[in-house]
Structure 1
Amino acid sequence: MRILSVHNRYQIRGGEDESRQAEENLLREKGHTVEVYEEHNDRIAQMNSLNVASRTVWSQESHDIVKQRLRKETHDIIHVQNFFPLISPSIYYAASSEGVPVVQTLRNYRLLCPNALFFRDGQVCEDCLGKFLPIPGIVHSCYRENRAATTAVASMITVHRALGTWMKMVDVYIALTEFARQKFISAGFPPEKIVVKPNFIHPDPGVGTGNGGYALFVGRLSVEKGLDTLLTAWEKLGGKISLKIVGDGPLADKVKQAVTELPGVEWLGRKPMSEVHYLMGEAKFLIFPSKWYETFGRVAVEAFAKGTPAIAANIGAIAEVVDSGRTGLHFQPGDAKDLASKVEWALTNPQKILQMRQEARKEFETKYTAETNYLRLMEIYRKVKIKK
């Protein structure tokens, strides 16, 4: 099978990129031909704002590049991982003109919300959900806190709603969880076109010991990731267990301050994935305090692969990924007191945590291995090809 994988890369490589690259590598390992069409946001610095805005709605350049590639070689599938902002939905039309089916992975909520997060002013916001024109997003300058840039994103969403692009030009959407799938359905996307296939971890990092005696946070140091909840909870815990924080982001200064003020809090900055996996395997548990509707929760699944349970906010997709009482615990999102109480419970119930370690690893082996993911992806590709 020959697949054209399409994605727009950002300056900072994150979980979205990790998941996309893992999928491409897996397909190649299985003998498929995977070609890549990639744009990088570095190009934006060479463009004026009007050019960027127009490309966000319709990039004729990307349309022509994809069409030329599809004409040059016969492709079975075009798999769009991310078209925003430089590639645009124009590529769907290029694929349609060449009779190639389109699969789109929904890695965020960009088609429903200008900032793609359903998150504003420190809390969940669904003001634009289901609206033909996402005016609230424009009013609040939700994309990059810039009204002009938000207007460009809102225009892209609205123009392609009017054209019927989202309904007609994509054969199958892949949501990473049932929670994310339901959000798109509630916005009017056809249920029969949205399937669920989670991300996966490959290669298997193997099980850790859990004997490190610390809790672990891995992720972007930002408000939506719940850093304020995390640090307040550790203040309440008063040094009962140490906390290692891996990552970087806009709240780095707040984390630096916490290191000097709170006993047992350590900031490690960015780390290579091999080191992150080691830290996960030795941690007693992972803390996942997000305040927004995560579309998946890759960090929690990486922890499961190491046999480490997660204490996670009961919100969005992560509440679906973590089975409270079996592979971890839930706490109320944004509630530092509840998070602290769940950590205290975990510290006083070591046998339960040991059982959770076994269940977390079992969950990984059942749902999140490369082989399971490959079989599901092939099932999706074959159905799309038959339909076309």
Structure 2
Amino acid sequence: MRVLVVHNHYSSAQPSGENRVVEEEVGLLRAAGHRVGLFERRSDDIAGRSLLGKVAVPLLVPWNPAVRTELAARLRADRPDVVHVHNVFPLLSPAVLAACADAGVPVVATLHNYTQVCPPGTLHREGRECTACVGRSVPLPAVRHGCYRDSRPATVPLAVGLAVNRRRWWSGVDRFFCISAAQRDVLVRSGMPAGRLVVKHNFVPDPGVRREGDGEHLLFLGRLAEAKGVRLLMAAWDALAADGGLGVPLVVAGAGPLEPEVTAWAAGRDDVRYAGLYGPEECRKAVARSVAVVAPSLARETFGLVVAEAMAAGVPAVAASHGGFAELVEDGVTGLLHRPGEVASLAECLRRIAAGPDANREMGRAARRRYERGFGPAVGLARLEKEYRSVIAGRSGGGGAPPSVGESTGSPRVRPRGRDGGSR
């Protein structure tokens, strides 16, 4: 198949799981013999723009007419069978959908977060879950609270884009890929067209290294932000330390706004090590040396790459029992689930995962088996190819195989649309 992938890469200053997923998916498709082109922008390029160019960026978030023109020319030249849209913020905009509609090319879109119903895409505000904008055609609560970067002016372009392009998204995409059933449930309740929403979990490459023995440390690997449960983890670890500790250290790896706080907290302690930002190889080694990976996110994660990566290395996880984590971790079998936001619950799970080496090893083996069944490259490729073929056949009138209900999907077949569906 000829596939054109559309993606705005997030800033390289912060590690992005979404960037990685896109790059690995492109590599997977190319290795399978598909012809994959890229239509992309990079947020890093904003820094090199003139002052006027930087000022204009927020104006392009809801609609970038130059992108529509450029992509239309690319579609005429490449004639792809399907366009796969990932992130369009801030430099691409939903104008990419108009270009695809003009060309009559079927479109699939992976929803990596909740930006279809929540301007910052997190369903999280001030340390707790927030659904104030879910189901609203105009997300005014997000503007009122300045949900994106704690700034009302920064939130306005996102809110405007969501409001004015709502119908375009919902009519201009043949199939949406949700990366967990939990995410799909939220989006269906918000009013998104259930018949176009299927579940296609992210895949994780085999790391090539697995845990040997019982592990050396507990590991937090991710963005150092309130929503990721960093302060919750610090409070639970302090409670455990006051009660004698666990006998294994905690390694915290990552970067983010709480880095100074984490650095100060870890300084001078024997039971905590702040490792800074790991590279890919360091990440794989650190995961494989873990007693468990800890994912105490306060926000409802749509998937949870770090948990899937732990499973691939035969390592159990301790994770919050909501969002995508609840689908990845089978409590007591492939890891432990704690009550979201509760210090005592997280501390007890950490104690349990570290105190029973025999049970821990069995959880690790079960985690690896679950990875092989549901999250390896072969599974990811098969699901992706199936959905591509279905939307291509549906648009061409070939009928297309209906999405099957189960782990990879969760909706009836999408009806074909006309070539002008969704055009402006």
TM-score range, shorter chain: over 0.9
| Residue 149 (structure 1) shift | 2.0
1:275 to 272, 282, 296: 282
Deviations 1:56-93 (A, max 9, x none): 11111111111001101211011001111110111111
Match of 1:371 in 2: 378
| Residue 262 (structure 1) shift | 4.4
Match of 2:230 in 1: 227
2:315 to 289, 299, 308: 308
1:19 to 9, 15, 21: 21
Q: Does 1:174 align with 2:181?
A: no
Q: Counterparts of 1:288 and 1:346 in 2: how far apart (Å)?
A: 13
2:91 to 71, 77, 86: 86
Q: Counterparts of 1:94 and 1:261 in 2: how far apart (Å)?
A: 56
| Residue 261 (structure 1) shift | 5.6
What is the correspondence of 1:1-388 to structure 2 with a 5 Å cutoff?
1-12=1-12, 13-45=15-47, 46=49, 47-48=52-53, 51-161=56-166, 164-238=167-241, 239-240=245-246, 241-260=248-267, 262-388=269-395
Q: Counterparts of 1:125 and 1:294 in 2: how far apart (Å)?
A: 13
| Residue 131 (structure 1) shift | 0.7
Q: What's the TM-score once normalised by structure 1's chain length? A: 0.96
The 10-residue stretch of structure 1 (239-248 or 301-310) with the greater mean CA deviation from structure 2: 239-248
Deviations 1:168-205 (A, max 9, x none): 10000001000011111111111110111111122443
Query: Which amino acid is the alignment partner of residue 24 of structure 1?
Result: V
| Residue 54 (structure 1) shift | 2.6
Give the count of matched residue pairs.
386
| Residue 212 (structure 1) shift | 3.1
Q: Is the 8 A contact 1:235 1:262 kept in 2?
A: no
Q: Counterparts of 2:213 and 2:276 in 1: how far apart (Å)?
A: 21
Deviations 1:296-354 (A, max 9, x none): 10000000000000010112111221111111001111212111111222233222111
The 10-residue stretch of structure 1 (263-272 or 19-28) with the greater mean CA deviation from structure 2: 263-272
Q: Counterparts of 1:85 and 1:91 in 2: how far apart (Å)?
A: 12
Deviations 1:274-304 (A, max 9, x none): 1211111111111111000111100000000
| Residue 210 (structure 1) shift | 4.4
**Mind listing any 5+ residue stretches in structure 2 that lack a counterpart?**
396-424
Q: Counterparts of 2:97 and 2:111 in 1: how far apart (Å)?
A: 15
Query: Which amino acid is the alignment partner of residue 169 of structure 1?
Result: G
Deviations 1:22-65 (A, max 9, x none): 00000000111111111112343424566223311111111111
Q: Counterparts of 2:169 and 2:78 in 1: how far apart (Å)?
A: 26
| Residue 4 (structure 1) shift | 0.7
Q: Counterparts of 2:275 and 2:214 in 1: how far apart (Å)?
A: 19
**Mind listing any 5+ residue stretches in structure 1 that lack a counterpart?**
none
Query: Which amino acid is the alignment partner of residue 104 of structure 1?
Result: A
Q: Is the 8 A contact 2:117 2:133 kept in 1?
A: yes
Q: Counterparts of 2:351 and 2:65 in 1: how far apart (Å)?
A: 56
The 10-residue stretch of structure 1 (203-212 or 332-341) with the greater mean CA deviation from structure 2: 203-212
The 10-residue stretch of structure 1 (89-98 or 345-354) with the greater mean CA deviation from structure 2: 345-354
Cα 1:27–1:328 shift into 2, 3 Å = same
Q: Is the 8 A contact 1:62 1:91 kept in 2?
A: yes
Sequence identity (%)? 35
Q: What's the TM-score once normalised by structure 2's chain length? A: 0.88
SS of the residue aligned with 2:303?
Answer: coil
Q: Counterparts of 1:127 and 1:223 in 2: how far apart (Å)?
A: 19
CA-based RMSD of the aligned residues comes to 1.4
The 10-residue stretch of structure 1 (338-347 or 110-119) with the greater mean CA deviation from structure 2: 338-347
SS of the residue aligned with 2:187?
Answer: helix
